[in-house]
Amino acid sequence: MPAYSASAPGKIILFGEHAVVYGQPAIAAPVLQVRAKAIANADPRGSPGTVRLRAIDLGLETTLADLPVDHPLAAVLWKAAAAMQLSHIPACSIQVSSNIPIAGGMGSSAAVSVAILRAFSALVGQPLSDEQVSQLAYEVEVIHHGIPSGIDNSVITYAKPVYFIKGKPIETLQVKRPFTLVIGDTGIQSPTANVVNDVRQAWEKASDQVEDVFKHIGAIAAAAREAIEQGSAEALGPLMEENQALLRELGVSSSELEGLVEAAHSAGAPGAKLSGAGRGGNMIALATPENAEEIARALRDAGAVRTIITEIRTP
Ligand code: PMV
């Protein structure tokens, strides 16, 4: 019996987090150095319908039937079974592992869903299309945090830099000249749902003012797209600074994120900002192949628990 394995990358948001939930454009890119992986094996001796699940990083070993239906790992399998119109689920085991930081703004939940959807549908013999995978992963994200924009499942399914507007077909970003980013992890877990809810409350209280911030962030994302497509990465530094100032205004930064942003500046980064929901999780700094190591070292010295040097390019 062959094993069916699939993996999906992590991601960062370069521009536009939070505002993207309210219809503004955002830019995200896959981070191939971190991945979630799922391995599905048929279990010929298992009783029909029994799916054994093992999520190594969560310390979880259980069966599908023993998980609440809205548990994200169960939901993804039930949704896959429904999409494939399975009359019964074959006895199998699914093992999930990931080195994407959990609740760190790098899309760990969407990547786990995408990997499971691909491995499980391959085992069943009905591989789901990218469009189906992205849609089902989105539906699971709804369970995680209520009102996701859909950017995480999109960039992770297609594993390409994207320009994303909620509810519109995703556009691949044509990166004219690849550029380097350093990612710094505060090591602080910050569930997206909490931060997104706080932003919603601020928006409900002062919608005109917060809406203006969202529009400004959207304009930055649009300008960044142009710069990326024209190969002028140097224009991104000031845009990252401007975006970070607006995220600060929205109340989603933190002293730890600010400390890392400051450290990146001191090491020569022309721009740095938080990436993802904020409050904790990861930040990104614009770098060059020459100074990336130095910036990464400065981030670790300032408290980053992990740094990743990554290149943004259209595959
Ligand atoms: O899942 P995270 O932490 O990368 O955050 C996603 C970005 C948000 O804009 C804050 C939420 C969303 O659904 O787009």
> What is the set of domains in the chain, with CATH numbers?
4-164 (3.30.230.10), 175-312 (3.30.70.890)
Residue nearest to atom 1 of ligand 1 (CA): 105
What is the predicted pLDDT for the residue at 1? 63
C-alpha of residue 279 to centroid of ligand 1, in Å: 12
Residue whose Cα lies nearest atom 6 of ligand 1: it is 276
Q: What is the pLDDT of residue 47?
A: 87
Nearest to 72 by CA among 23, 120, 109: 109
Q: Which two tokens mark 314?
A: 């259209």
**77 exposure class (CB count in 10 Å sphere: 0-12, 13-18, 19+):** buried
If you average pLDDT over residues 284-294, what whole number do you get?
A: 98
Using DSSP's 3-state secondary structure scheme, residue 77 falls into helix
The whole-number pLDDT of residue 20 equals 97
Give the ligand 1 atom nearest the CA of 12: 4
Q: What average pLDDT does range 86-104 have in this prediction?
A: 91
pLDDT at site 102: 81
Quick one: average pLDDT of 126-134?
Answer: 97
Residue 69: how many CA atoms within 13 Å on its side-chain side? 4
Our answer on whether the CB atom of 279 is closer than 6 Å to any ligand 1 atom is no
Alpha helices in the chain (DSSP H): 72-83, 108-124, 130-145, 151-158, 192-205, 207-230, 236-250, 255-266, 292-301
Predicted confidence (pLDDT) at residue 289 exceeds the cutoff of 90: yes
Average pLDDT score over the chain: 95
What was the pLDDT predicted at 2? 78
Residue 266 pLDDT: 98
Write down the pTM of the prediction.
0.95
pLDDT band, very low/low/confident/very high, at 237 (cuts 50, 70, 90): very high
Q: Which two tokens stand for residue 12?
A: 């960062």
> Which listed residue (152, 185, 208, 212) is catalytic?
152
171-208 pLDDT tens trace? 999 999 999 999 999 999 988 889 999 999 999 999 99
Ligand 1 pocket mutation, candidates 109, 138, 141, 149, criterion most atoms within 8 A of CB = 149
pLDDT score recorded for residue 254: 98
Structural contact between residues 182 and 264, judged by C-beta atoms closer than 8 angstroms:
yes
Is residue 152 part of the annotated active site? The answer reads yes
Is the beta carbon of 282 within 6 A of some atom in ligand 1? no
pLDDT band at 210 (very low <50, low <70, confident <90, very high): very high
Residue 311 is predicted with a pLDDT of 97
Q: Would the pLDDT of 147 be above 90? A: no
Instruction: Say how many Å lie between the CA of residue 19 and the centre of ligand 1.
Output: 10
pLDDT at 114 over 70: yes
